[in-house]
Amino acid sequence: MKRILVAPLNWGLGHATRCIPLIRELQELGAEVLLASDGVALDLLRAEFPHLPSVELPSYRIRYDTPSMVWNIGRQLPRILWAMWQEHRVVERLTRQYSLSGVISDNRYGCFSRRANSVLITHQLYVRVPGLSWLVRPVIRFFLAQFDTIWVPDAAEPPGLSGELSHGAKTSWPKVHFIGILTRMEGYERSPEYDIAVVLSGPEPQRSILEQRLLEQAMFLSYKFIFIQGKTQAKNHHFVSPHVEVVSFLTSEELNNVLMSSRYLISRSGYSSIMDLAALGKKAILIPTPGQTEQEYLAHSLAERRFFLTQKQDALDIEQGLRAIEQTTGIPRDAYPTDAFRPVLKTWLDSL
């Protein structure tokens, strides 16, 4: 039996959530799966797959304390590079210990092995760092070269959902395969229960700042809200007012049901959230994490295509947003198939 390591980045929950359909399919195909991550991402995977073995990887401990992407990453870069070196050593040890056939790393650039076929999942072939893209992109290409295959979770036809992040320059990218979107969500009909579902995620302290600002407005509006905090350490459920419900964490099935019974969604504009919205066919207000240029680009480009509405965190106005949201279309539910990755995964697994 083939053993596969699945290792998503702990940068909010998005990288872990989009690995869930891969893990499920690997099990369906008869593979043994070993999970590896850290922090809330590892907590989520353990909650979703309590029967699977898991290991903790060195943490990048990424924080977004200021609106400057260059400053946030630049001052943390030595720690990030050290964690990447450490995680590579751990993966090589795990490859020997478990006789791994393959490694699937979601944006963990150190999670590859010389002894096992290694795949990197990323939608950022062309990272956007204002003023530093010329320096960062060659570094990214160096790390991509360490992997046997690159899987881009998007449609091959531009602009896809990721736009210039993966369909940017006309550069030759060997080993790159577009595998279709990855999401644990699916669209179906369900009776309405909430007006607005707020899905919180991403690095601190910005996750908590956004939660507080949205709660302050929701308390004084007449709509029925549910806040999903994205805190995977423990499951708590309470009401802050008769019409504002707060839950710390939901399993995939629970979250899918809540989102399909909500009229509108409010979330970060992380790429995994956008893939979820494509599967759900819901209208949404997207709020980029301040200083996270990828999210700012995605929110802007999708708003230009009239799929979603976007607001800045420091200029939130839920009431105004809900008045304007009817001018958007959302992403048609069937525009991006959610199962296109399956033959790619099967072919890869059969080749090991």
Give the model confidence (pLDDT) of 84-130 as tens digits: 888 999 999 999 999 999 999 999 999 999 999 999 999 988 877 66
**Does residue 136 have a pLDDT over 90?**
no
pLDDT band at residue 292, thresholds of 50, 70 and 90?
confident
Asked if the domains 3-181+337-351 and 194-327 are classified in one and the same CATH topology, the answer is yes
**Does residue 80 have a pLDDT over 80?**
no
pLDDT band at residue 226, thresholds of 50, 70 and 90?
very high
Report, in angstroms and rounded to the nearest whole number, the Rg of the chain calculated over CA atoms: 20
3-state SS, residue 232: coil
pLDDT band at residue 73, thresholds of 50, 70 and 90?
low
**Does residue 76 have a pLDDT over 60?**
no
Long-range residue pairs from 93-98, CB within 8 A, at least 24 positions apart, any chain? 94/5, 94/34, 94/36, 94/55, 95/5, 98/3, 98/5, 98/34
- Pairwise CA distance, residues 58 & 101, whole Å: 22
Maximal CA-CA distance, the chain: 58
Q: Where are the domains of the chain?
A: 3-181+337-351, 194-327
pLDDT at res. 337: 95
**Does residue 198 have a pLDDT over 70?**
yes
pLDDT at res. 71: 59
pLDDT band at residue 52, thresholds of 50, 70 and 90?
very high
3-state SS, residue 260: helix
- Pairwise CA distance, residues 224 & 342, whole Å: 38
Torsion angles phi and psi, residue 72, rounded to 5: -60, -50
**350 or 232: which carries more pLDDT confidence?**
350
For 55: left if phi > 0, alpha if psi spans -120 to 50, otherwise beta; the answer is beta
Residues 144-155 have a mean pLDDT of 95
Percent share of the chain, pLDDT over 90: 76
pLDDT at res. 72: 57
pLDDT at res. 74: 58
241: how many CB neighbours lie within 10 A of its CB? Answer: 12
Q: Where are the beta strands (DSSP E) in the chain?
A: 3-8, 32-37, 54-56, 102-106, 117-121, 149-152, 176-178, 194-199, 225-228, 237-241, 244-247, 262-267, 283-286, 309-310
Provide DSSP, 267-320. E---HHHHHHHHHHT-EEEE-PPTT-HHHHHHHHHHHHTTS-EE--GGG--HHH
Query: Using an 8 Å Cβ cutoff, are 60 and 9 in contact?
Result: yes
Burial class (CB in 10 A: 0-12, 13-18, 19+), 303: middle
Topology of the domain covering 3-181+337-351: Rossmann fold (3.40.50)
Q: In what order do the strands lie in the sheet with 102-106?
A: 54-56, 32-37, 3-8, 102-106, 117-121, 149-152, 176-178
CATH of span 194-327: 3.40.50.2000
State the average pLDDT for the chain. Answer: 91
Query: Helices marked H in 49-105 — which ranges?
Result: 69-98
Report which residue type is found at 64.
Y
Closest CA to 31 of 1, 5, 65: 1
pLDDT in tens, 230-272: 988 778 999 999 999 999 999 999 999 999 999 999 999 999 9
